[in-house]
């Protein structure tokens, strides 16, 4: 079995197309965003994040990333506005990061990558009955991407990094209640948006991407804590450090990237 889908030694992005031909599709993610080639669309309104009734449940190591999952029985945490025709319900958030000193974001800006990238995954619960159904629909998911740039400590990211020792091994999970990801947002919600895909298998072309222009600042030490996580499970004799779990930019294939103001 593919032990982990990022590890270059095992089975990395270059071979995903064998099992997932959509990897070579026309709306794959991530992409390199070139700001002066994006089109400013005055019809693009601001996005709104209604996260106040947030109900995080747990934090887990799924063998590809560390994921904070949310209860989603109703529209208590939603993203709306911008390019979205409906409110999209928060399902989970997770991160992508690099190895020591190298970069780790998935989207790049004029070829430049950041140390890490946070993805807040939402689904269109107005049109679809389940997340799984939405995940295969062209307008099923909306992922908010936030860049993490190294600099000073981020006071709230500690709440995440302090919990990582509990989910070191693939398949581990621990309680993680009442965390509101609003504390991980930058001051500006200006964004780029384009039609793309999941960046890990099954790579469904079901994501409306909303990538914030302003990164949040976290310390190198905080990013380094993510690297204590393992791709491997407790029962495996070999321990493979979880790092470089990012897919490189994919061909734009003629897509337009729009910019909020």
Ligand X SMILES: N/C(=N\S(N)(=O)=O)N1CCCC1
> Residue 225 binds which one of ligand X, Zn ion, none, with CB within 5 to 8 A depending on kind?
none
3-state secondary structure (DSSP) of residue 132: helix
Size, binding site for Zn ion by CB under 5 A: 1
Question: Does residue 58 contact residue 175 with C-beta atoms inside 8 Å?
Answer: yes
Report residue 257 as tokens: 């990237």
Q: Least distance in Å: CB of 3 to Zn ion?
A: 19
Binding window for Zn ion (CB under 5 A); candidates: 2-10, 17-25, 36-44, 116-124: 116-124
119 binds Zn ion (CB under 5 A): yes
CB of 200 or CB of 260, closer to Zn ion: 200
User: Beta 141-150 vs 216-218: how paired, if at all?
Assistant: parallel
Cα distance between residue 230 and residue 103, in whole Å: 18
107 binds Zn ion (CB under 5 A): no
Q: Least distance in Å: CB of 237 to Zn ion?
A: 29
Cα distance between residue 173 and residue 70, in whole Å: 13
Which residue, among 158, 141, 145, 143, has the nearest Cα to 118 in the 3D structure? Answer: 145
CB of 199 or CB of 250, closer to ligand X: 199
User: What residues have CB less than 8 Å from 90, skipping those under 6 apart?
Assistant: 51, 54, 70, 72, 77, 78, 79, 120, 121, 122, 181
Q: Which of 17, 36, 40, 64 is catalytic?
A: 64
Question: Does residue 143 contact residue 122 with C-beta atoms inside 8 Å?
Answer: yes
Could you list the residues that contact ligand X (CB under 6 A)?
119, 121, 143, 198-200
Q: Least distance in Å: CB of 199 to Zn ion?
A: 5
CB of 143 or CB of 184, closer to ligand X: 143
- Annotated catalytic, 36? no
170 binds Zn ion (CB under 5 A): no
Residue ranges that bind Zn ion, judged by CB under 5 A: 119
User: What is the set of active-site residues?
Assistant: 64
């Amino acid at each position: 079995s593919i032990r982990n889908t990022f590890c270059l030694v095992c089975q990395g992005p270059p071979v995903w197309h064998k099992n997932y031909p959509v990897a070579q599709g026309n709306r794959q993610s991530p992409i390199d965003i070139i700001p002066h080639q994006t089109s400013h669309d005055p019809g693009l309104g601001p996005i709104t994040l209604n996260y106040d009734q947030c109900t995080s449940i747990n934090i887990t190591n799924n063998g590809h990333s560390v994921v904070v999952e949310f209860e989603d029985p109703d529209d208590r945490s939603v993203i709306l506005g911008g390019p979205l025709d409906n409110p999209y319900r928060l399902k989970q958030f997770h991160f992508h990061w690099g190895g020591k000193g190298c970069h780790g974001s998935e989207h790049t800006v004029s070829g430049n990558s950041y140390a890490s990238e946070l993805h807040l995954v939402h689904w269109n619960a107005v049109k679809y009955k389940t997340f799984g159904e939405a995940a295969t629909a062209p307008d099923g998911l909306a992922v908010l991407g936030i860049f993490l740039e190294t600099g000073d400590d981020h006071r709230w990211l500690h709440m995440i990094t302090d919990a990582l020792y509990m989910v070191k091994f693939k398949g581990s999970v621990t309680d993680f209640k009442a965390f509101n990801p609003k504390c991980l947002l930058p001051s500006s919600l200006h964004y780029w948006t384009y039609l793309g895909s999941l960046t890990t298998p099954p790579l469904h072309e079901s994501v409306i991407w909303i990538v914030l222009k302003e990164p949040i600042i976290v310390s190198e030490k905080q990013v380094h804590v993510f690297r204590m996580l393992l791709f491997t499970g407790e029962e495996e004799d070999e321990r493979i450090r979880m790092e470089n779990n990012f897919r490189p930019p994919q061909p734009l294939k003629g897509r337009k990237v729009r910019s909020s103001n």
